[in-house]
Amino acid sequence: MTRSPLSRLALLALAATLAAPALAQEKVLNIYSARHYQTDEALYGDFTKATGIRINRVDTDDAGVVNRLKSEGAASPADVVLLVDAARLWRAEADGLFQPVRSKVLEERIPARLRGKDEGQGSAWFGISTRARMIVYDKSRVKAADVDQYEKLALPVNKGLVCTRSGSHPYNLSLFGSMLEHLGPEKTEAWLQGVVANMARQPKGGDTDQIRAVASGECGVALTNSYYFARLMRSKKPEDRDVAEKVGAIFPNQADHGTHVNVAGAAVARHAKHREEAVQFLEYLSSPQAQEYFADGNNEWPAVPGTALGNPALKALGSFKSESVPISVVGMNQSRVQQILDRVGYK
């Protein structure tokens, strides 16, 4: 029997109607990420395998993520936001781009100092990995005892030796925001003025560039995040490992307040359409499996205490005392720090 075109259309419509609930039930999660590490791909894949939640991702830098969230407003499809610095996390929180999360899992796993402020409704963001702000130095002409504190970068003995990336880069803003808590505004300004006076050259490049500049003799001492140094230590390129071997590396201020530690953090976007899945993803990032990925894959320290550490570079760097200043306070200090940098001419 031959069906009429109308009958065929009716059957197609019925099939579409029956399929619609299945499509509607597909769980998705939209992530805006400033993390550009190849090893994170395994994190996303494993989460989908474990939960069935499909991930859509937008990758850009921190400023791009924040600007996109602001421009999209309530229409934003973002559910989860991943940023890589305390100052950036604080700024986004202050701009109202996150929503608070109350999660027993996250609160038990992530230390309070590695979370955003909790004013009764939960934290706006959670640290998922950490990195130390280290000092590297030329072993052939600089004594470790002359650079084992951040404050010593301003001493006359280091005149013409200091190199850094831009003072206004968030990694440095966070360190300087931490020092503002330790030293107070007047001493912090005097310290930064001394650092500027000791520069070997104008600030430029990234952290890896600073390490290479010390190894080449252009600089005598520099600041770097720990994972850049660990990456050179583990590189398959002999020339990279040679750079790491030429320089000394120090966790500063071990005799007093400890080394500045920054975070990469995750948050649920203010207008998240898939809040339940977003919280589930944040909890997954605090799991032992995900925490080991951060350590082994990108040379970051886990945010969750007690996580197994298999990374040989991190093991070689050893344990250290980290500061106790809350990360949220460090981020909050960035605007005051920027004013100080402008006054002392730290480019």
Q: What is the pLDDT of residue 86?
A: 86
- Residue 252 in this model has a pLDDT that exceeds 50: yes
Residue 70's pLDDT band (cuts 50, 70, 90): very high
- Residue 127 in this model has a pLDDT that exceeds 50: yes
Residues of the chain with CATH 3.40.190.10: 18-129+261-308, 131-260+326-344
* 54-59 vs 126-138, strand pairing mode: unpaired
Mean pLDDT in residue range 130-152: 97
Tell me if the domain spanning 131-260+326-344 has CATH number 3.40.190.10.
Answer: yes
Q: What is the pLDDT of residue 323?
A: 95
pTM of the model: 0.88
Q: What is the DSSP string of 316-345?
A: HH---PBP-S-HHHHHHTHHHHHHHHHHHT
Spatial separation of the C-alpha atoms in residues 10 and 3, rounded to whole Å: 11
Dihedral pair phi/psi, residue 346, rounded to 5°: -85, 105
Residues of the chain above pLDDT 70, percent = 93
224 in Cβ contact with 163 (< 8 Å): no
Q: What is the pLDDT of residue 12?
A: 42
- Residue 125 in this model has a pLDDT that exceeds 90: yes
Q: What is the DSSP string of 164-220?
A: -S-TTSHHHHHHHHHHHHHH-HHHHHHHHHHHHHTBSS---S-HHHHHHHHHHTS-S
Q: What is the pLDDT of residue 110?
A: 97
* pLDDT single digits (tens) 202-225: 999 999 999 999 999 999 999 999
CATH of region 18-129+261-308: 3.40.190.10
Task: Assign 120 to helix, strand or coil.
Answer: coil
- Residue closest to 248 by CA, chosen among 274, 222, 270, 266: 222
Residue 22's pLDDT band (cuts 50, 70, 90): very low
- Amino acid 205 reads G
- Residue 69 in this model has a pLDDT that exceeds 50: yes
Q: What is the pLDDT of residue 26?
A: 80
